[in-house]
Structure 1
Amino acid sequence: MSKVEIFDPALCCPTGVCGPSVDPKLTRLAAAVFTLEKKGFEIKRYNLGIEPIKFVENQKVNQILHDKGPDALPVVVVNDEIVKVGDYPSNEELANWFDIEESELSMKKPKIRLDVKFAK
């Protein structure tokens, strides 16, 4: 089974899905990570602003930061190997790494039925 770690740049919160303007990539990624965690897969995100020690402990990520600086983030590590630098994984990539269907990671809008009754 794959182990995926995503080393984020310094974000305002652990997911980056906050504030007045949210990057759609971060929203998609947060939903995919949540879904994968619920399914029991090993996927972790580390935020440079909140967990800098994780960036120091991982020698490969630390080397990228020394060579390229924080603009190289995010860095994606799969089974202790760097597979992506400077961009987040797509749902297709995540599905391949965890051997699941990409459709399992798609955000589905809930179907909510409202039964509105007006008082007479």
Structure 2
Amino acid sequence: MKTLQIFDPAMCCSTGVCGPSVDQTLVKLAADVAFLKSKGVTVERFNLAHQPEAFTANPLVIAEMGAAAEHLPIFMVDGEIRAKGTYPHRNEMAAWFGLTAGVSELKMAALPCCSGEEGCC
């Protein structure tokens, strides 16, 4: 299976899913990464604040990230840049690996507790 490398801008933690105001895009990305891993994709994620050596060791990333890192994040599959400056959707990333993303459905676990009568809830 191919390898996905994600070069993130500087964030407070490795995933960016931390702190008082979490960016929902990063929450979705964390779920998308978990999905890809569950399908056998190797995912390597690098944060500029915590692993700057991963950036400097990759000439393509250095050339593409911009002077102020304005083109981050960068997504690479087996050394080829597939996306930069934005977080791609799950279906786009899945297609890079010949996978179908599918649609996750939230199902009601049980019937509602309220019968609809006034004052029951």
TM-score (norm 2): 0.79
Paired positions, count = 110
Q: Which amino acid aligns with 2:73?
A: P
Question: Matched residue of 2:82: which SS?
Answer: strand
**Whole-angstrom distance in 1 between the partners of 2:44 and 2:109:** 31
Distance 1:76 1:28 in 2: 15
Aligned to 2:117: none
**What's the counterpart of residue 21 of structure 1?**
21
Counterpart amino acid of 1:20?
P
Q: Is the 8 A contact 1:48 1:55 kept in 2?
A: yes
- Report the Cα offset of residue 31 of structure 1: 0.9
The alignment partner of 1:102 has SS state of: coil
For residues 24-68 of structure 1, what are the alpha-carbon distances to aligned partners after superposition, in whole Å with 9 as ceiling and x for unaligned?
Answer: 110010111122223321121100011110001111001223x44
* Inter-partner Cα distance in structure 1 for 2:106 and 2:29: 16
**Which contiguous aligned blocks of 4+ residues in structure 1 show a shift greater than 2 angstroms?**
108-113
Q: Does the CA-based 8 Å contact 2:56-2:62 persist in structure 1?
A: yes
In structure 1, stretches of 5+ residues that fail to align are 114-120
* Aligned: 1:84 with 2:83: yes
Q: Find the aligned partners of 1:63 and 1:85 in 2 and give their Cα distance.
A: 12
Q: Does 1:48 align with 2:48?
A: yes
- Structure number with higher helix proportion: 1
Indicate the percent of aligned positions where both proteins have the same amino acid: 41
Would you say the 8 A contact 1:6–1:74 is kept in 2? yes
Separation of aligned partners in 2, 1:8 and 1:111: 35
SS in 2 for 1:84: strand
Tell me the TM-score normalized by structure 1.
Answer: 0.80
Which amino acid letter does the alignment assign opposite residue 85 of structure 1?
A: K
What letter matches 1:97 in structure 2?
A: W
- The structure whose Rg is larger is 2
* Structure-1 separation of matches of 2:106 and 2:9: 29
CA shift at 1:90, angstroms? 1.1
Q: Counterpart of 1:45 in 2: which secondary structure?
A: strand
